[in-house]
């Protein structure tokens, strides 16, 4: 007989887990946007003003992510879901 798994439904835990999931999705999108911006920088598709605006936006988003991780006691590696045989969701830095 296999042991029953206990589901932790404490309000604080549920909130933290939900925040963790949302921040994971946002971090994935942030990294994708950053890679796309770097490609556009490399190809010269952007004006200097656009490059500055994108750089500032990405920096502000990264800062806000760090604030939210700190508020909920999360580390950057906590947002990297293990997808089993596929490996981690986010590239390891």
Model confidence over 11-30: pLDDT tens digits? Answer: 778 888 889 999 999 988 98
CA distance 57 to 63: 10
CA distance 3 to 35: 44
What's residue 48's pLDDT? 92
Rg of the chain's alpha carbons, rounded to an integer? 18
pLDDT band at 74 (very low <50, low <70, confident <90, very high): very high
Which residue(s) pair with 88 in the sheet? 82
Are 74 and 20 in contact by the 8 Å Cβ rule? The answer is: yes
């Amino acid at each position: 007989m296999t042991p029953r798994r206990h589901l932790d439904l404490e309000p604080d835990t549920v909130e933290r887990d939900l925040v963790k999931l949302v921040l994971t999705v946002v971090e994935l999108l942030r990294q994708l946007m950053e890679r796309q911006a770097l490609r556009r920088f490399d190809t010269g598709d952007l004006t200097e003003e656009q490059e500055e605006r994108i750089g500032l936006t990405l920096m502000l988003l990264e800062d806000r992510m760090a604030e939210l991780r700190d508020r909920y006691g999360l580390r950057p590696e906590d947002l990297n879901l293990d997808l089993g045989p596929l490996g981690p969701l986010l590239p390891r830095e």
